[in-house]
Amino acid sequence: MSTGKRETWRRVFLLIGRLALAGMFLFAAYAKLKPQAALPWSVASVRTSLSMFAMQVDSYQLLSPQAVSMAAHALPFVELGLGLWLLSGLWLRYSTLATSVLLLGFFALMVRTYSLGLEINCGCFGPGEQLGKKSLLRDGSLLAFSLAVTICAFLSKRKRSESANSIPAAASEPQRAN
């Protein structure tokens, strides 16, 4: 495969990858914030949803109640922000890197909880999903995909930098010859 074709494929993969990751994070944030039990959207119903998410975070038995409350109230907004950042395509290397770091943290936490034998809800996409082999496989695959997108974003940047450097160099050659 020629260098130009490879670069085109890399760009296509990067576009699909970042849009897929953005969609996933936006959906995860929506699932955590949306009102539960057929309640209408309101500040109070979102607060209830966040409190319910706090119970799921708490069931991991890792943080103190204060830290659980803080994490549960911040995480859906972090996911929302990350989703929008990925969607915008700005500073792509950093947004994909942040995504991979976050997914790595989630995955490590899930593996730890599963190995401890705690039978709890995953809380990944709202309530009702049990933490098990299926959710571990899904999150593991997402992490691998995110890492691939991150590597691709870094390679793409390096390629662009190399091309940008080579153009002035090529342009300066004839001048020197003259």
Partner 1 sequence: MIRRNFHPFSGLILPRFAVVGALALICGAGISAQTHARAQTHAVANSDAATAPVKSLGNRNAPITMEVYSDYQCPSCGNFYENTLKYMIQDMVASGQVYFIHRDFPLPMHPYSYMAARWANAAAKIGKFEAVDAALWDNQQAWSVDGNIEKFVAAAVGQADFKRIKKLMEGCEVNPNASVKPAAFKNNGQEDHGCALDAYIEQDKLLAKQIPVTQTPTSVITAKSQRYPAMPGFVTWPILKQFLASLLSQ
Closest by alpha carbon to 96, among 52, 137, 141, 152? 152
How far apart are alpha carbons 65 and 91 in whole angstroms?
35
Q: Work out whether 157 is an interface residue with partner 1 (CB under 8 A).
A: no
For partner 1, how many residues bind (rule: CB under 8 A)?
26
Q: Based on CB atoms, which residue is closest to partner 1, 69 or 156?
A: 69
Q: Work out whether 47 is an interface residue with partner 1 (CB under 8 A).
A: yes
Going 61 to 64 to 76 to 128, the CA torsion angle's sign is positive
74 burial (CB, 10 Å; 0-12 / 13-18 / 19+) is: exposed
Q: Based on CB atoms, which residue is closest to partner 1, 48 or 156?
A: 48
Q: Work out whether 141 is an interface residue with partner 1 (CB under 8 A).
A: no
Q: Work out whether 59 is an interface residue with partner 1 (CB under 8 A).
A: yes
Q: Based on CB atoms, which residue is closest to partner 1, 55 or 104?
A: 55
| Helices 65-88/92-116 angle, 10° precision | 140
Q: What character string, x for contact with partner 1 (CB under 8 A) and - otherwise, covers 110-129?
A: --------xxxx-----xx-
Closest by alpha carbon to 105, among 129, 128, 79? 79
How far apart are alpha carbons 48 and 2 in whole angstroms?
55
Task: Point out which span in 58-66, 78-86, 90-98, 148-156 binds partner 1 (CB under 8 A).
Answer: 58-66
Which positions touch partner 1 (CB under 8 A)?
36-39, 44-45, 47-48, 51-52, 54-56, 58-59, 61, 65, 68-69, 118-121, 127-128, 130
